[in-house]
Amino acid sequence: MSYLYTFLIALVNNLDNIGVRIAYSIRGIRIPFLKNLWISFITFVISGGAAYFGELTTVYLNKTVSSIISMVLLCSIGLWIILEPYVKKKKDIKNNEQVDFSLKGVLDNPENADRDKSSDIDLKEATVLGIALSVNNIGGGVSAGMIGLSWYFVGIFSAVISFIALWLGNYLTVFLKKWDLDKKASFVAGAVLIILGIIQVI
């Protein structure tokens, strides 16, 4: 069961990777194999580190408190994942004339990582993109560590899913757009995290 929890949290954490790859595919931007591996390594370090930090906190907190904090984190992240597409859409409409290439701008819109508009991600751009995508994994990673999931497997699962999501993005683009599943996927992912959070205190 712990492996299933680990997989689900890693999958939901990396939902943005699928969205980013779809955005890149639409714009004809490629993520080369080695750059994808580098992004996956960054994902492993940040996600695994967050889970390890979560494990450390349990030394100072009893199981009940850890479960409650984990529930709050997971439910909050799940709710944000559900609402983010609508919030982001309003923000894009308001600021569609200006592209922000700063780290904050890439955090808000990871597709902005391709600063030189070369349609090919270089090492520096891949590093910024990897950090931007992995920051979203911190909350879920800490929660995973607090409920006793292995930090190593949280990192490995997150890295593998990140790599696959970015690699398969081109093949998912047409399917998701045809059936308008991008927002539905966000809702399902958010609901899964909320359910996992509630389970912690049952």
pLDDT at 110: 55
pLDDT at 46: 93
- Using CA of residue 96, residue 102, residue 107, residue 109, what is the dihedral sign? positive
pLDDT at 49: 95
Q: Does the reported pTM lie above 0.85? A: no
3-state secondary structure of 147: coil
Q: How many domains does the chain have?
A: 1
pLDDT at 198: 85
> Across the 202 residues of the chain, what is the mean pLDDT of every consecutive 10-residue run?
82 69 60 88 94 89 78 82 70 53 55 56 80 80 88 93 78 58 67 78 71
- Using CA of residue 164, residue 113, residue 54, residue 84, what is the dihedral sign? negative
Boundaries of domain holding 132: 2-199
| Distances from the Cα of 177 to the Cα of 11, 24, 170, angstroms | 20, 14, 12
- Give every CB contact of residue 82 below 8 A, 6+ residues apart in sequence: 186, 187, 190, 191
Question: For residue 119, what is the DSSP state?
Answer: S
Residues 54 and 141: beta-carbon distance below 8 Å:
yes
Residues 56 and 66: beta-carbon distance below 8 Å:
no
pLDDT at 147: 84
